[in-house]
A and B are shown apart, each in its own frame.
Chain A
Amino acid sequence: MGFARARVTPFVCAVVVALVGFRPDVALAQASQQEIARGRYVFGATGGCGCHTAKGQPANAGGRRYDGPFGTVYSSNITPDRETGIGSWTDEQIVTATRLGRRSNGERLLPVHPYPVFNGMAAEDLKALVAFLRSVPPVKRANQPKRIAVPLFESVFLPAWLAAFAPRETPPPSAPTAGVPRGEYLVRAVAHCGECHTPRTLTMATDNSRFLAGNPKGPEDQAMPNITPDPDTGIGKWTVEQIADYLGTGNKPDGDVAGGLMGEVIDGTLAGYKDLTQGDRVAIAQYLKTLPPIRNKIAKEK
């Protein structure tokens, strides 16, 4: 498998918890219903972490397979099962793995997990997300071991990814609440639109100079459309209302309906983009309109 063919990105939240050790002495903090509801909303805004749910299996129990240039990985169990899931982790451990990709012993998680995205997530949203993850039914399902092609991973991918990532050690305390800044926050730090829609460099890091300009062979080999405001090759002809509508319903302006991985994140699992408020969907659409239009025609490879 060549670099360009790799299916790396849908890791989304996949590998985040794969490597962290157990701390059986952790007491579960009681979260309020309000906090859990807020966490469900954040979970939906990430697209529902569908990478942690294998088809036909219980939500969040992991086991979905991903192939990349570094090897094969199965997403992990993020249900609150104490033995096979994250039930015995501290909140701090979950948050650190999610936004910094670090194990409790300081080691790195596989950089395929988009911690550069979740690094920007606000502390209050992270806290709610953790409360929500703890509230879903625990499922006992042991994680499958990964198979890593170590030489490539250590010599090529890890250094390149880390070079492109300057982490913020502490998250911003709160998230913008309205307008274009809210849209930017959701797109860049929560909904990870760029993991699919941004083209990649040879080392598989996202090419942020062409943010959201599309990828002819993206995750799972699917074509990812250009969603910059270029009128011919992007979505410049869509109105703000049409974009917001699409994120909630999957309906395109021409009568077609979304499918593939976009269908998955709109539907989500326990929640998805469809559960975003109209205000948040409009904010995302308004932010997309402020991006530089980039000409990049995504056609199926011949």
Chain B
Amino acid sequence: MSRRTWVLTAAALVPVVAVGCASMGQMKPEEAIAARQQLMKDQGAAWKNIQDKTKAGDVAGLLPDAQKLVDTSKQIPKLFPEGSLNPEKSAAKPEIWAKWSDFEAAAKNLTAQSEKLRDTAQSGDKAATQAVVQTFGRQACGTCHTPFRVPPKQS
């Protein structure tokens, strides 16, 4: 199959299987940008829920969102295909592609940290869960936003 056919096939599948399509590795840049921004918004919503639940002392209540972070973190590298740098529409920095293995490691780190959060919450230990949540933002999300993302627009 030619490269072009691949692209068209992938494009056609996007509305149907959304993010899963990225595994074909041939997502169009604009689609990749839209998909990763949506994924990040979902992660932001999940992370906010986790913090709210933790403050309310509901450790079991954060499990679904912790699992969501585990799952979504694995999609991250595929949503940053080569050629999807676009300073107009995206906050992704060129360093992502210049230091690709560091970027992949930052995504893997999020997977590992989210698994740790999930497993700690599962154990029911409130204090331990609170301790993980306290540093999670910086250590799981910030470690990627600091080198690889330009500050977002203020709304």
Contacts and interface: CB of A to CB of B under 8 A. Distances in A.
Interface in B100-139: 134-135, 137-138
B60 interface: no
Interface stretch (A32-40, A156-164, A252-260): A252-260
B151 A249 contact: no
A300 B146 contact: no
Interface in B130-155: 134-135, 137-138, 141-142, 144-146, 148-154
Contact of B149 (A224, A225, A259, A274): A259
A214 B145 CA distance: 20
A251 interface: yes
Nearest to A222: B151
Nearest to A272: B138
A235 B134 CA distance: 22
Interface in A249-288: 249-251, 254-264, 266-267, 274
Nearest to B141: A257
A267 B106 CA distance: 16
A254 to B, nearest CB: 6
13 contacts: A214-B154, A223-B150, A223-B153, A249-B134, A249-B135, A251-B137, A255-B43, A255-B51, A257-B142, A258-B142, A263-B142, A267-B142, A297-B154
Given A255-B46, A255-B49, A266-B138, 18 more contacts: A214-B154, A222-B150, A224-B151, A233-B154, A250-B137, A251-B137, A254-B48, A255-B43, A255-B44, A256-B152, A257-B137, A257-B142, A258-B142, A259-B151, A261-B151, A263-B145, A263-B146, A300-B150
B154 to A, nearest CB: 5
Interface of B: 43-49, 51, 87-88, 134-135, 137-138, 141-142, 144-146, 148-154
A297 B149 CA distance: 20
A298 interface: yes
Given A249-B138, A274-B138, A258 B153 contact: no
Contacts of B148: 259
Task: Pick the most buried of B45, B137, B150, B154: most chain A CB atoms within 10 A of its CB.
Answer: B154
Interface of A: 214, 222-226, 233, 249-251, 254-264, 266-267, 274, 297-300, 302
A233 B141 CA distance: 25
A299 B154 contact: yes
A259 B141 CA distance: 9
Contacts of B49: 255
Given A257-B142, A258-B142, A249 B154 contact: no
A233 B150 CA distance: 18
A83 to B, nearest CB: 32
Nearest to A260: B151
Contacts of B87: 300
Q: Which 7 A-B pairs have the closest CB atoms?
A: A259-B145, A255-B48, A263-B146, A255-B44, A257-B141, A251-B137, A257-B137
